Amino acid sequence: MGINAEEREILLDFINESNEGLEQTELNLLKLEESISRGEEIDSKTIDSIFRVIHSIKGSAGFLSLNLINRITHHAESLLDKIRKGKIKMRKSHIDVFLEVCDALQILLDHLKTHFSEEGFEGGSDDLIRRLDEMASTEVKGEKDTSRKAGSPPQPVPEEMPKTLDPNDLITDELKKQFVNESLELLDQLEQDLIILEKNPDNTENLQSAFRALHSIKGNAGFLNYRDINEIAHQAETLFDLARSNELVLQTQQFSLILKIVDFIRSAIEGLAEGKPPIIPGKFGLIDLLRGISDKVEPQEKPQQEKAETKAAAKEEKKKPEKPERPEKPEEAAAPKKSGKKIGEVIRVDVEKLNRLMDLVGEIVIAESMVSHHPDLAGMELEGFEKAIAYLQKNVRDLQDLATSMRMIPLSGLFGKMKRLVRDISMKKKREVELVVSGGETEVDRSVIEHISDPLVHILRNSIDHGIEERKERLKKGKPAQGIISLEAKRVGGEIWITIKDDGQGLNKEKIIKRAKEKGLLGENEESLNDDQIYNLIFRPGFSTAEKVTNISGRGVGMDVVKKNVEKIRGRIDITSEFGKGTTINLKIPLTTAIVDGMLMRVEDSLYAIPTLDIRESLQVHTEQIIDLVDGQEVVKVREQLVPVIRLQELHNKMGAMRPLEEGIVVVTESTGKAVGFLVDEIVGQQQLVIKPLPHYIGKLHGVSGCAVLGNGNICLILDLASMVKIAESIKID
């Protein structure tokens, strides 16, 4: 029987996770066998670990209707449960039978990977299940030790073994951490499903996905004895089960209730991560509300004609030969035949390990640079060495790309959370708003996700609260009643551009200037401002155009936080707006914040670097290209464009002699759509740079975002072009 792509993906995830668990279980069983042979005390934590794996496989197999796997694991779990509770003492014979269980399950999983079904599996399991049941029915008092030599006295049963273990003793820190991480991922997915279902309740794919998420949270919480989470998830799951069987059509109020319950569950799980008990206040009230919805649903009787048709169809089905149906799509039939290829295998890796890997890759990049640019090699012709270095550099670059890709995650998860935010705020403000998302598959470094989450929240809140007009006002302006906010991500060169665009009332430049003056945020030399400079006023601390404070905030409130967070990761923000038509905010974020390709430049005895992607060109200027402004500031004309020039020695108070512009090299860069030039003495070359924060003893330097250690041990300062553009903006060009 053919299965769709989603079902195949679920099965592959189950197969991969089960095989991973069984591999660890085999190691644990062998470890227990060694302890038994040496007469050592059995480690209860190891038994608990084996039990958890079998229990997890059983639960997932039951959900996926894999009856044979479910049956084997159910009987193995029963025996394990008695062993861990001390009712049966672990023997060598138990190890043997559990290893057989692992073998049987792995064979079944291989069959499942090939055929995506248990049908056609020829392996026998009845004898294995019978032996598991026999062992489980023999308790401590009458137990026969089949592993004991004939004639030897029975081993005494330790007093502590018959005692029932406290369930809380089974919950290790690692298990808690795994539950928290998996549950938060499931809740994120559940939120996205609910937002889609609210607009399209007949979407069976998202309905099934929401049910699975609640089912998994319920099962995992039940196993860990987190009763509040388990009971509420169980009642919510019941609603989706009724919706799946077309007995209930969920309404907007019910979606709002379930979303609130998601928030309660999330809060309890986040509290668990902080060491607090996972308690949900008002649990019984929430359960009563959910139960009240499901209790109103009456069982639906099928019409007599439908029953007759169902019976007739069942009869015809029995007449058919028992063989798998041919899938409708040829590609679905072809995929399972590739049994020799491992499909979709994944492994979970702790984030700390990935961070450590990135740090090590950074050190390798520095070490490679130290070798290839070592001063002892200067002037030497070493053809063989240069080939070896080129090969090393290629592999270091590949390693860096691979390590970076391992930390990359799609923006879809973050964008999904924004859908919930827009829904809640638009309902609170009683405005019709649709969030249109595109480019969620775009991947960024996980550290970038952490830094742009809050900025996105602020921008979207402001777009709804003071961007999108009320229904009557929109209709009066000839706009659709429903406001549109688009959230788009795309990769441009070495950056990710995230664009938030609304069709609201736009920014009022006169109002912004007036409020800035009232707040004392405009200096004497800031009377004449262009559009970009006016819009950038909203990023000043304390600026707001809101007439009154709300719990949502007005456009401008918190925007200084937005800017700080974006600049922390060397990003920048552009704003364009048309009054009465809407506002567009662009976040331009580097793909990774750890390693960049930089162009090295020497200014007197200091080295600077600029990201290569930001350099437009470098040139020696002629006298006729130089324009001296009244206040002594310098500008050069490059291809009919006036470019302000910054002397880094002046900016950083270096005491060297001032050289005419035509005697140096001007490096022209571009950032936020604006060009700025730097006068340098020499261009040293291009190199990969590992960005590190400035040491405390150096202090803060204007326009510097960090530093890098070069191959010869020298320190190179990395310029922050966004800051340099602001410095250049002070140069008035008419």
Report DSSP letters for 613-662, one per residue. GGEEEEEPPPGGGEEE-TTS-EEEEETTEEEEEEEHHHHTT--SPP--GG
Region of 582 (left: φ > 0; alpha: ψ -120 to 50; beta: rest) is left
Q: How far apart are CA 541 and CA 559, in angstroms?
A: 8
The CA distance from 172 to 382, in Å, is: 58
Q: How many CA atoms lie within 13 A of 368 on its CB side?
A: 23
Whole-number pLDDT of residue 483: 92
Q: Which residue has the tokens 């069942």?
A: 314
Q: Are 48 and 170 in contact (CB under 8 A)?
A: yes
CA angle in degrees (0–180, nearest 5) for 346-350-352? 145
In angstroms, the first-to-last Cα distance of the chain is 74
Two structure tokens written together for 478: 């000839």
- What pLDDT shows up at residue 339? 37
| 601 contacts 683 by C-beta, under 8 angstroms | yes
Give the CATH architecture of domain 352-407.
Orthogonal Bundle (1.10)
CA–CA distance, 585 with 571 (Å, rounded to integer): 13
Please tell me if the domain spanning 352-407 has the same topology as the one spanning 595-729. Answer: no
Question: Both tokens of residue 520?
Answer: 């004392």
- Looking at CATH, the fold of the domain delimited by 409-590 is given as Heat Shock Protein 90 (3.30.565)
If you ran DSSP here, which 8-state letter would residue 692 be given? Answer: B
DSSP codes joined into one string, 343-367: -S------HHHHHHHHHHHHHHHHH
Looking at residue 342, its pLDDT comes to 43
Q: How far is CA 74 from the centre of its chain?
A: 34
- Total residues belonging to the chain: 734
Count Cβ atoms below 10 Å from residue 531 Cβ, excluding itself. Answer: 12
HSE-up of residue 543 (Cα within 13 Å, Cβ side): 25
Residue spans per domain, the chain: 5-140, 170-295, 352-407, 409-590, 595-729
For the chain, the farthest-separated pair of C-alpha atoms sits apart, in whole angstroms, at 110
Distance CA 464, CA 470 (A): 10
Query: What pLDDT sits at residue 732?
Result: 53
Return the SS3 of 228: helix
Q: Which amino acid is at 81?
A: D
Contacts of 87 (CB under 8 A, 6+ apart): 139, 140, 162
pLDDT of residue 653: 74
Rounded to 5 degrees, what are φ and ψ at 49?
-65, -40
* Helix, strand, or coil (residue 65): coil
pLDDT score, position 313: 45
Task: Please identify every stretch of the chain with a pLDDT value under 70, giving residue numbers as ranges.
Answer: 1-3, 5-6, 122-124, 139-172, 296-348, 493-494, 523-527, 544-558, 592-594, 629-632, 655-657, 672-673, 699, 711, 729-734
Q: Which two tokens stand for residue 285?
A: 């009230």
Per-residue pLDDT, 50: 93
Task: Determine whether domain 595-729 maps to CATH 2.40.50.180.
Answer: yes
574 vs 196, 400, 418, 500, 538, CA distance in Å? 31, 30, 20, 11, 12
Q: How many CB atoms are located within 10 Å of the residue 564 CB?
A: 14
At 483, which helix (H) or strand (E)?
strand 483-492
- 3-class DSSP assignment, residue 171: coil
Residue-level pLDDT at 54: 92
Measured distance CA(586)–CA(97) in Å, rounded: 61
Please give the helix or strand (H or E) that residue 449 lies within, else none.
Answer: helix 446-466
Q: Which helix (H) or strand (E) holds 598?
A: strand 595-603
**What is d(CA 666, CA 641) in angstroms, rounded to the nearest whole number?**
14
For residue 348, give the nearest of 490, 219, 487, 181 by alpha carbon: 181
What span, in angstroms and rounded, lies between the C-alpha atoms of 719 and 687?
Answer: 15
Q: Are 447 and 569 in contact (CB under 8 A)?
A: yes
CATH classification for the domain delimited by 5-140, as one of 1.20.120.160, 1.10.3470.10, 3.40.50.2000, 3.40.390.10: 1.20.120.160
DSSP letter assigned to residue 116: S
DSSP collapsed to 3 states, 278-301: CCCCCHHHHHHHHHHHHHCCCCCC
Helices (H) and strands (E) in the chain, counts: 22, 18
Q: Which residues fall within 8 angstroms of residue 484, CB to CB, at 6 or more apart?
A: 433, 434, 436, 502, 503
Cβ atoms of 76 and 54 closer than 8 Å: yes
Task: Name the CATH superfamily, with its identifier, for domain 170-295.
Answer: HPT domain (1.20.120.160)
Phi-psi region of 151 (alpha: psi -120 to 50; beta: other; left: phi over 0): left
The SS3 assignment for 261 reads helix
Evaluate whether 550 touches 557 at the Cβ level (below 8 Å). Answer: no
Which two structure tokens, joined as six digits, stand for 414? 């973050």
